[in-house]
Structure 1
Amino acid sequence: MHAIILGGNGRIACAMTQLLLARSWAVTSIIRNPRQEAGILALGEGQPGRIHVLYYDLSDFKTASDAEGLFTRSGADCGVFAAGSFTNVYGIDRDAAKSAIAAATALPTVTKFLMISFPASRRNPAPWWNGKDIADYTSERNAYPEIGDAKIQADEYLVAMAHARRQRDGTESDSTFQAISLRPTWLTTGKGTGRVSLGKTRALGTVAIGDVAGVAVEMLSRDDVSGWFDLVEGGVGIAEAVEGVVEEGIDCVDGEDLERMYALAD
Protein backbone atom coordinates (compact mmCIF):
# COMPACT_ATOMS: atom_id res chain seq x y z
CA MET A 1 0.00 0.00 0.00
CA HIS A 2 1.01 3.60 -0.59
CA ALA A 3 -0.29 6.37 1.67
CA ILE A 4 -0.24 10.07 0.91
CA ILE A 5 -0.25 12.04 4.17
CA LEU A 6 -1.51 15.61 3.90
CA GLY A 7 -0.04 17.65 6.72
CA GLY A 8 2.97 15.36 6.85
CA ASN A 9 5.00 17.32 9.41
CA GLY A 10 2.35 17.12 12.14
CA ARG A 11 2.99 15.04 15.25
CA ILE A 12 0.39 12.38 14.44
CA ALA A 13 1.47 12.33 10.80
CA CYS A 14 5.13 11.74 11.70
CA ALA A 15 4.24 8.97 14.13
CA MET A 16 2.01 7.36 11.50
CA THR A 17 4.75 7.64 8.90
CA GLN A 18 7.18 5.65 11.03
CA LEU A 19 4.62 2.93 11.73
CA LEU A 20 3.54 2.64 8.09
CA LEU A 21 7.14 2.41 6.92
CA ALA A 22 7.75 -0.31 9.50
CA ARG A 23 4.93 -2.27 7.84
CA SER A 24 6.63 -1.87 4.44
CA TRP A 25 4.18 0.73 3.13
CA ALA A 26 5.28 3.51 0.82
CA VAL A 27 4.53 6.98 2.19
CA THR A 28 4.37 10.30 0.36
CA SER A 29 4.47 13.11 2.91
CA ILE A 30 3.02 16.45 1.82
CA ILE A 31 4.71 19.40 3.54
CA ARG A 32 4.66 23.14 3.00
CA ASN A 33 8.12 24.10 4.23
CA PRO A 34 11.18 22.62 2.45
CA ARG A 35 13.16 22.95 5.70
CA GLN A 36 11.04 20.11 7.10
CA GLU A 37 12.18 17.63 4.44
CA ALA A 38 15.28 16.31 6.21
CA GLY A 39 13.29 15.47 9.32
CA ILE A 40 10.64 13.66 7.31
CA LEU A 41 13.16 11.65 5.31
CA ALA A 42 14.92 10.66 8.53
CA LEU A 43 11.76 8.82 9.57
CA GLY A 44 12.55 6.26 6.88
CA GLU A 45 16.06 5.40 8.06
CA GLY A 46 16.36 1.67 8.62
CA GLN A 47 12.73 1.07 7.67
CA PRO A 48 11.58 -1.44 5.03
CA GLY A 49 9.09 0.99 3.50
CA ARG A 50 9.80 3.89 1.12
CA ILE A 51 9.41 7.58 2.01
CA HIS A 52 8.91 10.46 -0.45
CA VAL A 53 8.35 14.15 0.14
CA LEU A 54 6.33 16.61 -1.96
CA TYR A 55 5.92 20.32 -1.31
CA TYR A 56 2.45 21.79 -1.40
CA ASP A 57 0.62 24.51 0.53
CA LEU A 58 -2.77 23.00 1.32
CA SER A 59 -4.33 26.47 1.38
CA ASP A 60 -3.89 26.34 -2.42
CA PHE A 61 -6.37 23.46 -2.65
CA LYS A 62 -9.34 25.10 -4.36
CA THR A 63 -10.91 22.19 -6.22
CA ALA A 64 -10.80 18.41 -6.26
CA SER A 65 -8.57 18.54 -9.33
CA ASP A 66 -5.87 20.31 -7.29
CA ALA A 67 -5.82 17.40 -4.87
CA GLU A 68 -6.15 14.80 -7.62
CA GLY A 69 -2.84 16.01 -9.01
CA LEU A 70 -1.05 15.05 -5.79
CA PHE A 71 -2.73 11.64 -5.62
CA THR A 72 -1.87 10.80 -9.22
CA ARG A 73 1.66 12.21 -8.98
CA SER A 74 2.39 10.11 -5.90
CA GLY A 75 0.58 6.97 -7.06
CA ALA A 76 -0.98 6.61 -3.61
CA ASP A 77 -3.97 4.34 -3.06
CA CYS A 78 -4.62 5.56 0.49
CA GLY A 79 -5.20 9.12 1.69
CA VAL A 80 -4.62 10.51 5.18
CA PHE A 81 -5.67 14.04 6.15
CA ALA A 82 -3.71 14.99 9.26
CA ALA A 83 -3.48 18.75 8.67
CA GLY A 84 -4.96 21.50 10.81
CA SER A 85 -4.61 25.23 11.30
CA PHE A 86 -5.45 27.71 14.05
CA THR A 87 -4.95 30.68 11.70
CA ASN A 88 -6.73 29.41 8.57
CA VAL A 89 -9.29 27.04 10.03
CA TYR A 90 -11.83 27.04 7.23
CA GLY A 91 -9.17 27.07 4.52
CA ILE A 92 -7.40 23.97 5.86
CA ASP A 93 -9.65 22.00 8.22
CA ARG A 94 -12.69 22.34 5.97
CA ASP A 95 -11.85 23.40 2.40
CA ALA A 96 -8.54 21.57 1.91
CA ALA A 97 -9.99 18.49 3.60
CA LYS A 98 -13.04 18.54 1.35
CA SER A 99 -10.88 18.91 -1.76
CA ALA A 100 -8.81 15.90 -0.68
CA ILE A 101 -11.96 13.88 0.05
CA ALA A 102 -13.46 14.76 -3.33
CA ALA A 103 -10.26 13.68 -5.06
CA ALA A 104 -9.93 10.42 -3.13
CA THR A 105 -13.52 9.39 -3.74
CA ALA A 106 -13.32 10.29 -7.45
CA LEU A 107 -10.22 8.23 -8.16
CA PRO A 108 -10.95 4.50 -8.46
CA THR A 109 -7.34 3.73 -7.58
CA VAL A 110 -7.81 5.19 -4.07
CA THR A 111 -9.45 2.70 -1.73
CA LYS A 112 -8.89 4.17 1.75
CA PHE A 113 -9.17 7.63 3.30
CA LEU A 114 -8.60 8.52 6.95
CA MET A 115 -9.38 11.86 8.58
CA ILE A 116 -7.99 12.94 11.93
CA SER A 117 -10.88 14.69 13.69
CA PHE A 118 -12.04 14.91 17.34
CA PRO A 119 -14.97 13.60 19.44
CA ALA A 120 -16.84 16.92 19.64
CA SER A 121 -17.14 16.98 15.84
CA ARG A 122 -20.84 16.17 15.75
CA ARG A 123 -24.11 18.12 15.56
CA ASN A 124 -25.74 16.48 18.57
CA PRO A 125 -24.52 15.01 21.87
CA ALA A 126 -23.84 11.31 21.42
CA PRO A 127 -26.64 9.02 22.67
CA TRP A 128 -24.20 7.06 24.86
CA TRP A 129 -22.90 10.11 26.76
CA ASN A 130 -23.89 10.96 30.32
CA GLY A 131 -24.49 14.43 31.72
CA LYS A 132 -20.80 15.17 32.31
CA ASP A 133 -19.95 14.09 28.77
CA ILE A 134 -22.60 16.39 27.35
CA ALA A 135 -21.28 19.28 29.43
CA ASP A 136 -17.72 18.56 28.23
CA TYR A 137 -18.91 18.39 24.61
CA THR A 138 -20.75 21.70 24.95
CA SER A 139 -17.70 23.33 26.51
CA GLU A 140 -15.46 22.08 23.71
CA ARG A 141 -17.75 23.35 20.97
CA ASN A 142 -18.14 26.73 22.69
CA ALA A 143 -14.38 27.10 23.23
CA TYR A 144 -13.42 26.30 19.61
CA PRO A 145 -16.47 27.16 17.50
CA GLU A 146 -14.65 27.62 14.18
CA ILE A 147 -12.61 24.44 14.52
CA GLY A 148 -15.69 22.50 15.54
CA ASP A 149 -17.69 23.86 12.61
CA ALA A 150 -14.91 23.22 10.07
CA LYS A 151 -14.25 19.69 11.31
CA ILE A 152 -17.90 18.63 11.32
CA GLN A 153 -18.35 19.90 7.78
CA ALA A 154 -15.35 17.87 6.63
CA ASP A 155 -16.44 14.75 8.53
CA GLU A 156 -19.95 14.93 7.11
CA TYR A 157 -18.61 15.47 3.61
CA LEU A 158 -16.50 12.33 3.92
CA VAL A 159 -19.61 10.36 4.89
CA ALA A 160 -21.51 11.82 1.94
CA MET A 161 -18.83 11.31 -0.67
CA ALA A 162 -17.99 7.79 0.50
CA HIS A 163 -21.69 6.89 0.29
CA ALA A 164 -21.84 8.32 -3.25
CA ARG A 165 -18.67 6.41 -4.21
CA ARG A 166 -20.15 3.14 -2.98
CA GLN A 167 -23.34 3.78 -4.89
CA ARG A 168 -21.31 4.31 -8.07
CA ASP A 169 -19.41 1.11 -7.32
CA GLY A 170 -22.70 -0.72 -6.88
CA THR A 171 -22.15 -1.73 -3.27
CA GLU A 172 -23.06 -0.46 0.20
CA SER A 173 -20.21 -2.36 1.81
CA ASP A 174 -16.75 -1.05 2.63
CA SER A 175 -15.18 -3.43 0.14
CA THR A 176 -14.27 -0.81 -2.46
CA PHE A 177 -13.75 2.29 -0.32
CA GLN A 178 -12.98 2.71 3.38
CA ALA A 179 -13.82 6.11 4.89
CA ILE A 180 -12.50 6.53 8.44
CA SER A 181 -12.89 9.48 10.77
CA LEU A 182 -10.58 8.85 13.71
CA ARG A 183 -11.49 11.18 16.56
CA PRO A 184 -8.85 11.40 19.29
CA THR A 185 -9.42 13.54 22.37
CA TRP A 186 -6.73 15.88 23.79
CA LEU A 187 -3.26 14.71 22.77
CA THR A 188 -0.32 14.00 25.04
CA THR A 189 3.26 13.58 23.88
CA GLY A 190 5.13 10.33 24.11
CA LYS A 191 5.22 7.03 22.29
CA GLY A 192 2.05 5.74 23.89
CA THR A 193 1.05 2.77 25.99
CA GLY A 194 -0.34 0.54 23.24
CA ARG A 195 -3.66 0.45 25.11
CA VAL A 196 -6.74 2.58 24.35
CA SER A 197 -10.49 2.97 24.58
CA LEU A 198 -11.92 3.09 21.05
CA GLY A 199 -15.43 3.58 19.72
CA LYS A 200 -18.27 4.90 21.84
CA THR A 201 -16.09 6.46 24.50
CA ARG A 202 -16.54 9.29 26.94
CA ALA A 203 -16.50 12.77 25.40
CA LEU A 204 -13.27 14.11 26.83
CA GLY A 205 -9.96 12.81 28.09
CA THR A 206 -6.40 12.40 26.88
CA VAL A 207 -4.59 10.01 24.57
CA ALA A 208 -0.94 9.72 23.57
CA ILE A 209 0.06 10.73 20.05
CA GLY A 210 1.78 7.38 19.62
CA ASP A 211 -1.44 5.56 20.42
CA VAL A 212 -3.43 7.66 17.94
CA ALA A 213 -0.93 6.78 15.25
CA GLY A 214 -1.04 3.12 16.27
CA VAL A 215 -4.82 2.96 15.97
CA ALA A 216 -4.80 4.80 12.64
CA VAL A 217 -2.24 2.45 11.12
CA GLU A 218 -3.97 -0.63 12.48
CA MET A 219 -7.22 0.54 10.87
CA LEU A 220 -5.59 1.29 7.53
CA SER A 221 -3.91 -2.10 7.54
CA ARG A 222 -7.31 -3.81 7.48
CA ASP A 223 -9.91 -3.94 4.71
CA ASP A 224 -13.00 -3.91 6.93
CA VAL A 225 -12.87 -0.62 8.87
CA SER A 226 -15.08 2.34 8.02
CA GLY A 227 -16.97 4.93 10.08
CA TRP A 228 -16.44 7.37 12.94
CA PHE A 229 -14.37 6.19 15.91
CA ASP A 230 -13.77 8.19 19.09
CA LEU A 231 -10.49 7.55 20.89
CA VAL A 232 -9.26 8.12 24.45
CA GLU A 233 -6.70 6.42 26.65
CA GLY A 234 -7.78 3.06 27.99
CA GLY A 235 -6.85 -0.49 28.85
CA VAL A 236 -7.43 -2.46 25.65
CA GLY A 237 -4.60 -3.34 23.28
CA ILE A 238 -4.73 -1.47 19.97
CA ALA A 239 -5.24 -4.47 17.70
CA GLU A 240 -7.89 -5.87 20.05
CA ALA A 241 -9.66 -2.50 20.25
CA VAL A 242 -9.85 -2.19 16.45
CA GLU A 243 -11.01 -5.78 16.13
CA GLY A 244 -13.67 -5.04 18.74
CA VAL A 245 -15.25 -2.08 16.95
CA VAL A 246 -15.32 -4.03 13.71
CA GLU A 247 -16.85 -7.13 15.26
CA GLU A 248 -19.47 -5.09 17.14
CA GLY A 249 -20.28 -2.87 14.15
CA ILE A 250 -19.59 0.30 16.14
CA ASP A 251 -19.85 3.62 14.34
CA CYS A 252 -19.88 6.88 16.32
CA VAL A 253 -21.94 8.53 13.59
CA ASP A 254 -24.91 7.02 15.49
CA GLY A 255 -27.21 9.81 16.63
CA GLU A 256 -26.46 12.02 13.62
CA ASP A 257 -28.69 12.59 10.59
CA LEU A 258 -27.24 10.34 7.90
CA GLU A 259 -29.80 11.21 5.24
CA ARG A 260 -28.97 14.90 5.60
CA MET A 261 -25.27 14.03 5.29
CA TYR A 262 -25.78 11.95 2.15
CA ALA A 263 -27.44 14.94 0.49
CA LEU A 264 -24.15 16.90 0.89
CA ALA A 265 -22.44 14.88 -1.87
CA ASP A 266 -21.47 16.81 -4.98
Structure 2
Amino acid sequence: MRVVVAGGHGKIARHLTRRLADRGDAVTGLIRNPEHADDLRADGAEPVVLDLESADADTLAGHLEGADAAVFAAGAGPGSGVARKETVDRGASALLARACEQAGVRRFVQVSAIGTANPNPPDVGEVFGAYLDAKRAAEQDLRERDLDWTILRPGILTDDQPTGQVLLTTELQRAEIPRSDVAAVLVALLDEPKSTGHALTLISGATPVAEAVREVVS
Protein backbone atom coordinates (compact mmCIF):
# COMPACT_ATOMS: atom_id res chain seq x y z
CA MET A 1 0.00 0.00 0.00
CA ARG A 2 1.19 3.52 -0.78
CA VAL A 3 0.03 6.13 1.74
CA VAL A 4 0.45 9.91 1.51
CA VAL A 5 0.59 11.59 4.90
CA ALA A 6 -0.06 15.32 5.22
CA GLY A 7 1.76 16.90 8.13
CA GLY A 8 4.45 14.28 7.76
CA HIS A 9 6.73 15.68 10.47
CA GLY A 10 4.04 15.79 13.13
CA LYS A 11 4.34 13.48 16.11
CA ILE A 12 1.40 11.24 15.19
CA ALA A 13 2.47 11.21 11.55
CA ARG A 14 6.00 10.08 12.36
CA HIS A 15 4.70 7.21 14.50
CA LEU A 16 2.36 6.30 11.67
CA THR A 17 5.10 6.44 9.05
CA ARG A 18 7.40 4.17 11.03
CA ARG A 19 4.62 1.63 11.56
CA LEU A 20 3.71 1.59 7.88
CA ALA A 21 7.32 1.51 6.67
CA ASP A 22 8.23 -1.28 9.09
CA ARG A 23 5.63 -3.55 7.51
CA GLY A 24 6.70 -2.70 3.96
CA ASP A 25 4.25 -0.01 2.91
CA ALA A 26 5.43 2.97 0.86
CA VAL A 27 4.90 6.34 2.56
CA THR A 28 5.11 9.82 1.11
CA GLY A 29 5.26 12.53 3.75
CA LEU A 30 4.15 16.07 2.89
CA ILE A 31 6.15 18.66 4.82
CA ARG A 32 6.46 22.44 4.78
CA ASN A 33 10.00 22.72 6.14
CA PRO A 34 12.76 21.20 3.94
CA GLU A 35 14.93 20.81 7.05
CA HIS A 36 12.61 18.01 8.16
CA ALA A 37 13.25 15.87 5.07
CA ASP A 38 16.06 13.82 6.61
CA ASP A 39 13.88 12.95 9.61
CA LEU A 40 11.24 11.55 7.27
CA ARG A 41 13.81 9.55 5.33
CA ALA A 42 15.05 8.09 8.62
CA ASP A 43 11.47 7.09 9.41
CA GLY A 44 11.19 5.32 6.06
CA ALA A 45 9.19 7.91 4.11
CA GLU A 46 9.83 9.80 0.91
CA PRO A 47 9.56 13.50 1.78
CA VAL A 48 7.78 15.99 -0.46
CA VAL A 49 8.21 19.65 0.41
CA LEU A 50 4.86 21.34 -0.19
CA ASP A 51 3.22 24.11 1.81
CA LEU A 52 -0.45 23.16 2.08
CA GLU A 53 -1.36 26.73 3.00
CA SER A 54 -0.25 27.99 -0.41
CA ALA A 55 -0.31 24.94 -2.73
CA ASP A 56 -3.05 24.40 -5.30
CA ALA A 57 -5.06 21.22 -5.75
CA ASP A 58 -3.57 20.40 -9.15
CA THR A 59 -0.02 20.40 -7.80
CA LEU A 60 -0.99 18.36 -4.77
CA ALA A 61 -2.92 15.88 -6.91
CA GLY A 62 0.27 15.22 -8.85
CA HIS A 63 1.93 13.94 -5.68
CA LEU A 64 -1.07 11.71 -4.97
CA GLU A 65 -1.01 9.84 -8.27
CA GLY A 66 -0.83 6.10 -7.64
CA ALA A 67 -1.52 6.36 -3.91
CA ASP A 68 -3.89 3.95 -2.22
CA ALA A 69 -4.78 6.25 0.67
CA ALA A 70 -4.20 9.67 2.17
CA VAL A 71 -4.03 10.57 5.84
CA PHE A 72 -4.53 14.14 7.02
CA ALA A 73 -2.41 14.46 10.16
CA ALA A 74 -1.45 18.13 9.80
CA GLY A 75 -2.23 20.92 12.23
CA ALA A 76 -1.25 24.49 12.88
CA GLY A 77 0.18 23.40 16.20
CA PRO A 78 0.71 25.01 19.59
CA GLY A 79 1.42 28.72 19.54
CA SER A 80 -0.43 29.36 16.27
CA GLY A 81 -3.26 31.86 16.21
CA VAL A 82 -6.83 31.83 15.00
CA ALA A 83 -5.94 32.53 11.36
CA ARG A 84 -3.75 29.44 10.97
CA LYS A 85 -6.37 27.17 12.52
CA GLU A 86 -8.47 28.14 9.51
CA THR A 87 -5.76 27.81 6.87
CA VAL A 88 -4.25 24.56 8.17
CA ASP A 89 -6.75 22.62 10.27
CA ARG A 90 -9.63 23.34 7.90
CA GLY A 91 -8.16 24.65 4.66
CA ALA A 92 -5.34 22.15 4.24
CA SER A 93 -7.63 19.22 4.98
CA ALA A 94 -10.13 20.42 2.38
CA LEU A 95 -7.30 20.93 -0.11
CA LEU A 96 -6.02 17.39 0.40
CA ALA A 97 -9.52 15.97 0.03
CA ARG A 98 -10.07 17.92 -3.18
CA ALA A 99 -6.72 16.76 -4.55
CA CYS A 100 -7.62 13.16 -3.69
CA GLU A 101 -10.80 13.50 -5.73
CA GLN A 102 -8.79 14.82 -8.67
CA ALA A 103 -6.16 12.07 -8.39
CA GLY A 104 -8.67 9.26 -7.93
CA VAL A 105 -7.50 8.41 -4.40
CA ARG A 106 -10.68 7.35 -2.65
CA ARG A 107 -9.40 6.33 0.81
CA PHE A 108 -9.04 9.30 3.16
CA VAL A 109 -8.43 9.15 6.91
CA GLN A 110 -8.68 12.44 8.77
CA VAL A 111 -7.16 13.03 12.20
CA SER A 112 -9.59 15.41 13.85
CA ALA A 113 -10.08 16.28 17.52
CA ILE A 114 -12.23 15.17 20.40
CA GLY A 115 -15.02 17.65 21.05
CA THR A 116 -16.03 18.35 17.45
CA ALA A 117 -19.22 16.31 17.75
CA ASN A 118 -20.73 18.87 20.13
CA PRO A 119 -20.92 22.68 20.25
CA ASN A 120 -17.99 24.43 21.91
CA PRO A 121 -18.40 24.90 25.67
CA PRO A 122 -19.16 28.48 26.71
CA ASP A 123 -15.84 28.86 28.53
CA VAL A 124 -13.65 27.76 25.61
CA GLY A 125 -10.78 30.11 24.79
CA GLU A 126 -10.69 32.01 21.50
CA VAL A 127 -7.84 30.05 19.94
CA PHE A 128 -8.96 26.61 21.08
CA GLY A 129 -12.48 27.45 20.01
CA ALA A 130 -11.18 28.40 16.57
CA TYR A 131 -9.27 25.10 16.47
CA LEU A 132 -12.41 23.09 17.21
CA ASP A 133 -14.41 25.14 14.71
CA ALA A 134 -11.79 24.48 12.03
CA LYS A 135 -11.68 20.75 12.74
CA ARG A 136 -15.47 20.62 12.74
CA ALA A 137 -15.63 22.40 9.39
CA ALA A 138 -12.99 20.07 7.96
CA GLU A 139 -15.06 17.08 9.01
CA GLN A 140 -18.16 18.53 7.37
CA ASP A 141 -16.24 19.24 4.17
CA LEU A 142 -15.02 15.65 4.08
CA ARG A 143 -18.49 14.21 4.71
CA GLU A 144 -19.79 16.01 1.64
CA ARG A 145 -17.19 14.51 -0.71
CA ASP A 146 -17.37 11.30 -2.70
CA LEU A 147 -14.50 9.66 -0.83
CA ASP A 148 -14.14 6.58 1.36
CA TRP A 149 -13.48 8.62 4.47
CA THR A 150 -12.91 7.85 8.12
CA ILE A 151 -12.68 10.53 10.81
CA LEU A 152 -10.65 9.80 13.95
CA ARG A 153 -11.05 12.08 16.98
CA PRO A 154 -8.27 11.33 19.47
CA GLY A 155 -8.49 12.45 23.06
CA ILE A 156 -5.81 14.34 24.95
CA LEU A 157 -2.54 13.41 23.27
CA THR A 158 0.50 12.29 25.25
CA ASP A 159 3.99 11.05 24.46
CA ASP A 160 3.62 8.09 26.84
CA GLN A 161 4.68 4.64 25.75
CA PRO A 162 2.01 2.84 23.72
CA THR A 163 -0.14 0.27 25.48
CA GLY A 164 -1.75 -1.24 22.39
CA GLN A 165 -5.09 -1.08 24.19
CA VAL A 166 -7.73 1.54 23.44
CA LEU A 167 -11.36 2.56 23.66
CA LEU A 168 -12.69 3.32 20.19
CA THR A 169 -16.27 4.52 20.17
CA THR A 170 -18.80 6.79 18.52
CA GLU A 171 -19.50 8.49 21.87
CA LEU A 172 -17.72 11.49 23.38
CA GLN A 173 -15.40 10.42 26.20
CA ARG A 174 -12.56 12.78 27.05
CA ALA A 175 -9.37 11.15 28.31
CA GLU A 176 -5.73 10.66 27.30
CA ILE A 177 -4.23 8.57 24.51
CA PRO A 178 -0.54 8.10 23.58
CA ARG A 179 0.27 9.34 20.08
CA SER A 180 1.80 5.98 19.20
CA ASP A 181 -1.50 4.24 19.98
CA VAL A 182 -3.27 6.77 17.74
CA ALA A 183 -0.89 5.77 14.95
CA ALA A 184 -1.63 2.08 15.55
CA VAL A 185 -5.35 2.75 15.24
CA LEU A 186 -4.79 4.72 12.02
CA VAL A 187 -3.00 1.72 10.51
CA ALA A 188 -5.83 -0.59 11.57
CA LEU A 189 -8.43 1.79 10.09
CA LEU A 190 -6.54 1.93 6.80
CA ASP A 191 -6.66 -1.87 6.72
CA GLU A 192 -10.38 -2.10 7.52
CA PRO A 193 -12.69 -1.22 4.58
CA LYS A 194 -15.73 -1.31 6.88
CA SER A 195 -14.39 1.72 8.75
CA THR A 196 -15.36 4.04 5.91
CA GLY A 197 -18.15 6.46 6.76
CA HIS A 198 -17.40 6.35 10.50
CA ALA A 199 -16.46 9.21 12.83
CA LEU A 200 -14.79 7.70 15.87
CA THR A 201 -13.50 8.91 19.24
CA LEU A 202 -10.30 7.36 20.56
CA ILE A 203 -8.89 7.23 24.09
CA SER A 204 -6.86 4.72 26.06
CA GLY A 205 -8.80 1.66 27.13
CA ALA A 206 -8.65 -2.07 27.66
CA THR A 207 -9.25 -3.49 24.16
CA PRO A 208 -6.43 -4.42 21.77
CA VAL A 209 -6.30 -2.11 18.76
CA ALA A 210 -7.27 -4.61 16.06
CA GLU A 211 -10.16 -5.94 18.14
CA ALA A 212 -11.36 -2.40 18.95
CA VAL A 213 -11.51 -1.52 15.26
CA ARG A 214 -13.36 -4.72 14.37
CA GLU A 215 -15.90 -4.18 17.12
CA VAL A 216 -16.70 -0.54 16.36
CA VAL A 217 -17.36 -1.14 12.65
CA SER A 218 -19.29 -4.38 13.04
Please report the TM-score for the alignment, with normalisation by the length of structure 1: 0.74
Q: Measured at CA, do residues 119 and 100 of structure 1 come closer, stay the same or move farther in structure 2, by a change above 3 Å?
A: same
SS in 1 for 2:138: helix
Q: Tell me: CA distance 1:94–1:202, structure 2 relative to 1, closer, same or farther (3 Å).
A: closer
Larger radius of gyration: 1
CA contact (8 A) 1:112 1:178 kept: yes
Report the count of equivalent residues: 211
Which residue of 55, 70, 77 corresponds with 2:63?
70
- Paired with 1:81 and 1:140, the residues of 2 have a C-alpha distance of 28
Q: Indicate the residue corresponding to 2:121 in structure 1.
A: 138
Distance 2:125 2:30 in 1: 31
TM-superposed CA distance for 1:201, in Å, is: 4.0
Per the alignment, residue 25 of structure 1 pairs with 25
Cα shift readout 1:75-114 (whole Å, capped 9, x = no counterpart) = 3221111110034111111111101111213332x13111
Q: Is 1:179 paired with 2:159?
A: no
Which structure 2 residues correspond to residues 54-93 of structure 1 after superposition, within 5 A?
A: 54-61=48-55, 63-72=56-65, 75-85=66-76, 86-87=80-81, 88-93=84-89
Please say if 1:232 is aligned against 2:216: no
Match of 2:102 in 1: 106
Name the CA distance, whole Å, in 2 between partners of 1:236 and 1:15: 20
Contact 1:219 1:242 survives alignment (8 Å):
yes
> What is the letter of the counterpart of residue 54 of structure 1?
V
- From 208, 212, 216, the equivalent of 1:241 is 212
Query: 1:116 and 1:139 mapped to 2: Cα distance?
Result: 24
| Counterpart pick for 1:94 among 87, 90, 94 | 90
Are 2:192 and 1:218 aligned?
no
SS of the aligned residue for 2:186 comes to helix
Matching residue of 1:252: none
What SS does the aligned partner of 2:24 have? coil
* Structure 1 unmatched runs, 5+: 45-50, 126-136, 166-176, 248-266
Is contact 1:178-1:224 (8 Å) kept? no
C-alpha separation in 2, matches of 1:203 and 1:237: 18
Q: CA RMSD in A?
A: 1.8
Secondary structure in 2 aligned to 1:59? coil
How many angstroms does 1:224 deviate by? 1.9
After superposition, the C-alpha distances for 1:130-150 in whole angstroms (9 at most, x for unaligned) are xxxxxxx62685561110111
**What whole-Å deviation, never above 9, does each CA across 1:223-266 have from its counterpart, x for those lacking one?**
2211101001110000000000111xxxxxxxxxxxxxxxxxxx
Matching residue of 2:134: 150
